[in-house]
Amino acid sequence: MEFQEKLLKVDQALGRDDTKALAFLCKDILKCDISSTESPTDLFQRLEEKDVLSEDQPCLLADLLHVIKHFQLLSELDLNSTMSTTGSLISPYRKLLYQLSEGIGKKELEKIKFLLNNDLQRSALEPNVSTLEVFLEMERKDLLSSSHLDLLEQILEDVCPMLRNHIQQFHMVLTKTHKDQTDPTRYPMKAQQRGFCLIINNFDFSRSHGSQSNRIGTHIDTESLRHVFTWLGFKVEVLQDATRDQMLSSMRELASRDHSGMDCVACVVLSHGLKGGVYGVDGGMVQLEELTDLLNGVRCTSLRGKPKLFFIQACQGNQREQAVPVQVDGPVDPEVHDQTDGTSRPRVHAQTDEPSSHGDLRSNVVFANESLPSMADFLISKSTPPSYVSLRDKKKGSWFIQSLCKKLVLLVPRDKDLLSILTEVNNDVSEMSDPTSSMRQMPQPSHTLRMSVFFPVPEEPPPSLPTSL
């Protein structure tokens, strides 16, 4: 469907109140009087003249329909994938006022008008005047703005006490955003798009001449990662079943892009591996330093000073991690020491991400973590330390990736930095075990970060994930 046809379909689907809502949400974008807006097409024409809406820039249309909760129309027009995850053109202040208007009923609006009787003109207090129109009149009288919400907050305290929580949350978000942008101990995270996220998902190893098995369950990891990193504001791309050469060429292509308008970059590799490297589906080995070196400050200048995040789900050897006894400060029930939060972990059918036949890289390999001191702003989080296997559940995905996704969804909204989140992942995975073999796993992050990585809290609700391991 042509973009202009989509705009026409929106015009035909929306009523008078919806039109006023869209115009209200776009007031700060248009920077003009919106009272004369007669139809959605009238509004769209103004937005096109401002160069903020076009076939190449459909995000604003998707965001507008999402805010006014026309989800079916979003789906019919196939606009869900174009909706911005961060940096929307619609100001948080406009969204706040619209959200408040949705929670104010007819009786509450009458009370609000009564309380504003001495502040607004009589025409703004007539019964047919909507909540949004009252807000606009308050703005015209300098009684309301993004930095002046006191009067509105006071009125809502008397009329709709529960709605004050929205204003308080708005203040908290503004405070955190200001802190994130000015705190010298944090990497800046204020671009409209967080960055590219490349996921290399190697499942089919039939071309490796039988030395490696297919990685059953890896598609669950891929989908979890896709949802979580999209939610965090990344543009996610998946490379499926890559050979050694394809893995390297995809990284070269990623390095050749212009990242100047983005905050960081992320790369996730899901494959078989051995110490210091990962396998392509053809059985060819790629050393981790070959991947990371392509994004260093010399080869990719637009990523200088920005976090370069690598997450590696692959074995790093053939050794099995075993449980060891620990001393605890208190009594331990011997029948429940594999439990967490009072519930036992389910039985898992674990596979390892190592090749079926044992082997190793050549003896003079230089490991990625040994070259990191000369490469600033890198983080490499591996599912397991050198020489050890990494476990994957056929039905629920790998222990490491599923824990990573779960902790990002849980802890990013709690203002936790990435290294703290990875520490939580370490703890989470360390408590997992395979009852059939007593095998355990211990992830290992290493980094040359100079500042803390805090992802901005997305406006959208967090994605749902598969049942936790």
Burial bucket for residue 184 (CB in 10 Å: 0-12, 13-18, 19+): exposed
Active-site position among 267, 315, 405, 447 = 315
Active-site position among 264, 272, 300, 447 = 272
- Is 315 assigned a catalytic role? yes
CA distance linking residue 239 with residue 219, whole number of Å: 12
Q: How many residues does the chain have?
A: 469
- Is 70 assigned a catalytic role? no
Closest CA to 375 of 282, 289, 285: 289
Q: Are 259 and 251 contacting, i.e. CB atoms less than 8 angstroms apart?
A: no
| DSSP element (H, E) containing 408 | helix 399-411
Phi, then psi, of 393 in degrees rounded to 5:
-90, 130
CA distance linking residue 260 with residue 465, whole number of Å: 32
Q: Are 239 and 415 contacting, i.e. CB atoms less than 8 angstroms apart?
A: no
Q: Are 151 and 137 contacting, i.e. CB atoms less than 8 angstroms apart?
A: no
Helix runs in 53-163, H state only? 59-67, 71-76, 92-103, 106-115, 131-140, 150-159
DSSP bridge partners of 444? 382
Helix runs in 183-278, H state only? 218-231, 244-256
Burial bucket for residue 76 (CB in 10 Å: 0-12, 13-18, 19+): middle
CA distance linking residue 166 with residue 153, whole number of Å: 10
Place of tokens 């210091």: 276
What amino acid is encoded at 256 in this protein?
Answer: S
CA distance linking residue 361 with residue 440, whole number of Å: 24
Active site residues: 272, 315
